[in-house]
Amino acid sequence: MAELIVQFRILEGDIMSVPKLPKCIPGEGNPNGCTTIAYAVIGPHEFWIDYVINYVARTNDLEIGKDIKLISDGASSQAYYNYTNYILSHTNETAYGIIFCTSE
């Protein structure tokens, strides 16, 4: 019977206070404004990605669709190329970039 008993221990690290991300402020001559966070999903769009994005938006006073933009979403390599092309064509208009890879 003892071999059937399984124990779990949750390890928790130190909780650190992280300052808010600064909101991107458009510069002169930039009619389209700028994006604070541009992100892509390479692979299936998992539920936890939306949770993370919503959490980041809420804790940093950012608006999804305006300050945080999903640039590319898909299981093909085209999703990666769409994202990199966006970043390259929006030089100095994107503060942070994130790629969520959910497949091998």
* The predicted structure's pLDDT at residue 39: 95
| Whole-model pTM over 0.85 | no
Tell which residue, 44, 47, 66, 56, has the closest CA to residue 98: 56
Tell which residue, 73, 65, 78, 61, has the closest CA to residue 99: 73
Domain chopping of the chain, boundaries: 26-98
Q: Read off the DSSP letter of residue 76.
A: S
Q: Which residues pair with 41 in a beta bridge?
A: 73, 100
* The predicted structure's pLDDT at residue 15: 61
Can you tell me whether residue 98 is helix, strand or coil? strand
Cβ atoms of 100 and 49 closer than 8 Å: yes
* The predicted structure's pLDDT at residue 5: 52
- Tell me the pLDDT of the chain (104 aa) as tens digits: 445 555 555 556 666 667 888 888 776 555 567 889 999 999 999 999 999 999 999 999 999 999 999 999 987 788 889 999 998 988 778 889 999 998 86
Cβ atoms of 14 and 46 closer than 8 Å: no
* The predicted structure's pLDDT at residue 92: 79
